[in-house]
Amino acid sequence: MESILYKKYQKEVVPAMKEKFGYQNNLAVPKLTKVSLNVGINARNTDSAYQDIVEKNITRITGQKPVRTLAKKAISSFKVREGMVVGAKVTLRGQRMYDFLDKLVNISLPRVRDFRGINPKNVNDKGKFTIGFKEYNVFPEIKMDEVEKSHGLEVTIDNTAKTREEGLELFQLLGFPFQKK
């Protein structure tokens, strides 16, 4: 079963991008490749209960079990030792990626407090897009009465665009709510 966002990409985005940028082939049009969700775990929160809470929340949001990221080297000023758990990450591709992005654009972003649109500067020179959330409770799978400890969340959307303009146009055509200039 294809996602609504993927159908929109095929029917609306590909023809519009071909017209604007002059692509000769549908395969030359930039497409989404993966979505990465990252959560940093503070060095002071070394208890495994907090790490399990973070893992459980990411699993609820994405439907996929996260991988714990480990510190590569020790940094004494941050009280981090080599091999210590410093975060959790999930990479989504294919159907799950499109389902997650559809939920992000249509449900989660409008639920952000004082949301005025996404800053276009969040798209980098290669067309990647990164957005950070101070609280993860904007996602519909999270119920407010179940929130034990709040943590941030970073979402990075990767695509095959070669320039910032191509990436920004791709995201605008997909329906991401960017700020008006």
For every residue of 9-25, DSSP letters joined together read: IIIIIHHHHHHHH--SS
pLDDT at 3 over 90: no
Q: Is the pLDDT of residue 78 over 80?
A: no
Q: With cut-offs at 50, 70 and 90, classify the pLDDT of residue 144.
A: low
**Helix axes 14-21 and 164-174, enclosed angle (nearest 10):** 150
Q: How far is CA 95 from the centre of its chain?
A: 15
**CATH topology (fold) of 4-8+31-174:** 50s Ribosomal Protein L5; Chain: A, (3.30.1440)
Going by pLDDT thresholds of 50, 70 and 90, the confidence category of residue 45 is low
Q: State yes or no: pLDDT of 131 exceeds 80.
A: yes
Q: 66-80, 88-102, 106-120: lowest mean pLDDT where?
A: 66-80
Predicted confidence (pLDDT) at residue 44 exceeds the cutoff of 70: no
Q: How many CB atoms within 10 Å of residue 32?
A: 23
* pTM across the whole model: 0.85
Stretch 15-29: mean pLDDT, rounded?
91
pLDDT at residue 114, as a whole number: 78
The radius of gyration of the chain from alpha carbons, rounded to an integer in Å, stands at 18
Give the lowest-confidence range in 9-18, 37-46, 53-62, 163-172.
37-46
85, 51 Cβ separation under 8 angstroms: yes
Q: Which residue has the higher pLDDT, 51 or 167?
A: 167
Tell me what pLDDT residue 75 has: 75
- Provide the 3-class DSSP secondary structure of residue 122: helix
pLDDT at 109 over 70: yes
Higher pLDDT: 157 or 51? It is 157
Task: Give the residue carrying structure tokens 């910032």.
Answer: 164
Band of the pLDDT at 113, cuts 50, 70, 90?
Answer: confident
